[in-house]
Amino acid sequence: MTQHAKSWTLKPGAMTLGDLRAVWAAPAKLILAAEAYPVIEASAAAVQAIVAKGDAAYGINTGFGLLAKTRIPDEKLEQLQRNLILSHSVGTGELLSDAVVRLIMLMKIGSLARGYSGVRPLIVDTLIALYNAGIMPAIPAKGSVGASGDLAPLSHMTLAMLGVGDVRVNGELMPAPEALAQAGIAPVVLAAKEGLALINGTQVSNALALHGLFMAERLLEAAMVTGALSLDAAKGSDAPFDARVHAVRGQPGQILAAQMYRQLVANSAIRASHLEGDERVQDPYSLRCQPQVMGACLDLIGNVGRTLLIEANAVTDNPLIFQDGPNGQAEIVSGGNFHAEPVAFAADTLALAISEIGALAERRIALLIDATLSGLPPFLVRDPGVNSGFMIAHVTAAALASENKSLAHPASVDSLPTSANQEDHVSMATFAGRRLDDMAHNTAVIVGIELLAAAQGIDFHRPLKTSPHLEHVHHQLRQKVPFFDADRFFAPDIEAAKQMVLHGELSSTCKNLFAPLYA
């Protein structure tokens, strides 16, 4: 996908994680590469040839699932596809965010445009028109087991193309017929196989997992910054970040994380003040082992990104049309690419990283408020006793860290058979991806509380300064949240810090430092 000013040219099968991040972050006009259209047309022509020949072919002129043996007359094929969408639109729960829906639509467009799904160019162009008009189908978050495709949520996506149900435009719900009319988009009448091609696929599961991935990247950056700030606040040692320590182990994420920590704390006057005469021999693990833990999270996040990128470019509906069949004829092949096990495993392992980032940050908050470990005033406030300081802010962090432990339980190990045991093993990838947003918000609060606590600790060391990188972060925070000199309404401070974490503000001025995360 190539960026041209405020538009994107999508080359099917060639998206990068950078492309997907950009679409997740903000809308931009989408253009499909011209070379995609001939293969789309050839695939659609192959479907029409199968219909004309009259042989039974699953998804084209048969029923679905356990009804695959039921032959459908040609005159009812359009009704078959419409009925498929209406009957499968059974989602429930809150609506998916515009950012997630943009990813779903983009990946569905890219998948159909690879020319294996048998849809007409009209279908792809209508999806692109909706996307470019900012018409976001109203897709409920719950109702998919991540096998046989994300049938229910993708059916809700397809409803918008038919001019049925609701959509969201500029954050406001409105009837789909009204939105399409305002944008000058004609509702489509689905031809043979097109409904099935639209709702088969892993795009919803993958979009939810990508959303979790991009949130995890921001959490990783922020927690490395707050972890470095906590190190200085607690007058910890930077010796454990020595490159030689990590080189002899050889774990690439650990080596890279240690390098980042060295850069974050470089030239700290606080560190220089206790290079000699410090009675402590070793720091607690939450300070000392940051490269080991965060480096492992870094490696895991990188592995997840590779899996989800492959899936983003994949063709995952069923059946598929191949132009290299016997005697050069198109051949329809029924398989199971709609089974989202790779996405489920990726989302489950990503949950581990998000949980651990928060768990380690919670331990550093506990360290900072404990005067016997940190050397700072109890609960990081003057006149403790009269003031409770950060006592209960830490309780909030502990509650959220504990909640994340439960949410981190793998979804992929569960399976409930569906469709009268035709679909007898499912991935549960949709929930595996969906719960990542809750986990990420929990961790963002924990890291935000650590930011507040560590900045408070730095203030107690004045006039000494921390490193230039960390001084800038401290200054950014103090523009929004003043020093905690006495007990006050604390929740707004925590929310402000959380938003700084979620919006990437802690690393905004040192992006070059974190660039290797995205190599």
**Residues classed as catalytic:** 58
The answer to whether residues 72 and 58 touch, using CB atoms and an 8 Å cutoff, is: no
Alpha helices in 187-289 (DSSP H): 194-199, 203-233, 243-247, 252-265, 269-273, 285-288
Q: Nearest 5°: phi and psi at 146?
A: 70, 35
Query: What radius of gyration do the chain's Cα atoms show?
Result: 26
Closest listed residue to residue 77, CA positions, set 90, 64, 91? 64
Find out whether the peptide bond into 319 is cis, omega within 30 degrees of 0. yes
Q: Which amino acid is at 87?
A: S
Determine the 3-state secondary structure of 32 from DSSP. strand
The answer to whether residues 466 and 269 touch, using CB atoms and an 8 Å cutoff, is: yes
Dihedral angle of Cα 444, 450, 454, 456, to the nearest 10 degrees: 100
Dihedral angle of Cα 314, 320, 321, 323, to the nearest 10 degrees: 60
Strands 2-4 and 7-10: antiparallel
Long-range (24+ apart) CB contacts under 8 A made by 159-165 are 159/85, 159/86, 159/89, 160/130, 160/135, 161/123, 161/126, 161/127, 161/130, 161/187, 161/188, 161/198, 162/82, 162/85, 162/187, 162/188, 162/190, 163/187, 164/85, 164/86, 165/89, 165/137, 165/138
Q: CA distances (Å), 243 to each of 228, 251, 257, 435, 511, in order?
A: 16, 12, 10, 36, 21
The answer to whether residues 247 and 268 touch, using CB atoms and an 8 Å cutoff, is: no
Cα 85-89-90 angle, rounded to 5 deg: 150
User: Angle of helix 429-460 relative to helix 491-502, nearest 10 degrees?
Assistant: 120
The answer to whether residues 301 and 213 touch, using CB atoms and an 8 Å cutoff, is: yes
Most distant CA pair in the chain, distance: 89
Looking at the DSSP bridge assignments, the partners of residue 494 are none
